[in-house]
């Protein structure tokens, strides 16, 4: 059984087109945006590379294979397991580790060294010290979500002299990047030990609201908070209170609810917060774009026998792994 009609809906270059066509030489490969296509055209595709919205998914009536270009798997894709159990779903998990982990380290160092305060002071031409700073050396970093992104971040923090503790859904798997690994049910016990709490979680029923007001209160006084997973993991009002009270020394969030965040939301006004518009991943780093195309090409070429990279387990919403390690 072969794939005959493949739609690729993502930013593309001539070289990427060549690589994807070479992966399925017997197939017709179209490079178009979903909104450019009519219902009849959408129904003709048996494989898609891209992230169709809910309405488009209903029109892709004949697809056998869906390759997402995101690392996280939104709920509308996980539910396809019930609606279309024969549809194979793969994510781009593993493509974003370098870009997002570097963003996390840069944001944390900015906060620790108070560089954002100096950048703001430039507007007043203020030549003055902003006071003492922090160092990652000797700090304890709790990584909530020890998948590819969390692991890449942990490795970088280890190089800066931090102790790294990872939290996963289940035990087992590689320790690389972590001094300790625990299961997610240990979150409350470990948070008071951490100087930095970093979230890199997908959106699942178990992760929604995981950072509540109670959990922010468990964090060490003067600690730092990072979130690059999904905005739904965080009680944003509680985050505002933790920053305004000084309980947190600083925070960096790349995701919010909703997106875009309304202009009148108090998060915009927090002086010790770096708020970025969900840009830590995407294709801003060339290596990320290359990796997403590589994953898609290898999965297309592997159809139907496999093995497939980052095939999604519909039961969990995470990628399948032999030992089911990571988040």
- Active site members: 230, 259, 278
SS3 88: strand
Name every residue whose Cβ is closer than 8 Å to that of residue 86 and which is 6 or more positions away in sequence. Answer: 64
Backbone phi and psi for residue 91, each to the nearest 5 degrees, phi listed first: -105, 180
Name every residue whose Cβ is closer than 8 Å to that of residue 277 and which is 6 or more positions away in sequence. Answer: 254, 259, 260
The CA distance from 303 to 225, in Å, is: 41
- Strands 65-67 and 180-183, by their bridges, are unpaired
- The length of the chain is 327
Name every residue whose Cβ is closer than 8 Å to that of residue 154 and which is 6 or more positions away in sequence. Answer: 141, 143, 146, 164, 166, 177, 178
Q: The sheet that has 65-67: what strands, in order across it?
A: 28-31, 5-8, 47-49, 65-67, 88-90
- Smallest Cα–Cα separation from 173: which of 319, 35, 61, 316? 319
How many CB atoms are located within 10 Å of the residue 96 CB? 27
């Amino acid at each position: 059984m072969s794939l005959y009609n493949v739609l690729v809906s993502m930013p593309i270059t001539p070289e990427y087109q060549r690589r994807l066509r070479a992966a399925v030489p017997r197939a017709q490969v179209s490079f178009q945006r979903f909104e450019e296509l009519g219902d009849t055209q959408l129904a003709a595709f048996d494989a898609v590379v891209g992230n169709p919205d809910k309405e488009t998914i209903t029109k892709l009536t004949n697809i056998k294979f869906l390759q997402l270009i995101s690392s996280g798997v939104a709920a509308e894709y996980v539910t396809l397991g019930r609606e279309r159990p024969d549809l194979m779903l793969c994510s781009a998990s593993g493509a974003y580790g370098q870009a997002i982990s570097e963003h996390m380290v840069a944001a944390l160092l900015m906060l620790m060294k108070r560089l954002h305060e100096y950048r703001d002071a430039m507007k007043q031409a203020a030549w003055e010290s902003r006071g003492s700073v922090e160092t990652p050396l000797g700090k304890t970093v709790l990584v909530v979500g020890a998948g590819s992104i969390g692991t890449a971040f942990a490795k970088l923090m280890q190089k800066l002299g931090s102790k790294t503790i990872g939290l996963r859904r289940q035990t087992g798997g590689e320790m690389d990047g972590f001094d300790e690994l625990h299961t997610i049910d240990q979150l409350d016990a470990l948070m008071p030990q951490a100087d930095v709490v970093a979230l890199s979680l997908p959106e699942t029923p178990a992760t929604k609201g995981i950072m509540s007001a109670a959990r922010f209160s468990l964090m060490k006084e003067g600690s730092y908070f990072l979130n690059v997973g999904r905005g739904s993991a965080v009680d944003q009002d509680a985050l505002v209170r933790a920053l305004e009270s000084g309980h947190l020394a600083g925070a960096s969030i790349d995701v919010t609810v909703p997106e875009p965040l309304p202009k009148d939301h108090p998060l915009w006004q927090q002086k010790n917060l770096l708020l970025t518009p969900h840009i830590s991943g995407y294709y801003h780093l060339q290596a990320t774009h290359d990796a997403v195309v590589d994953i898609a090409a290898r999965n297309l070429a592997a159809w139907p026998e496999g093995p497939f990279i980052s095939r999604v387990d519909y039961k969990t919403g995470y990628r399948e792994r032999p030992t089911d390690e990571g988040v």
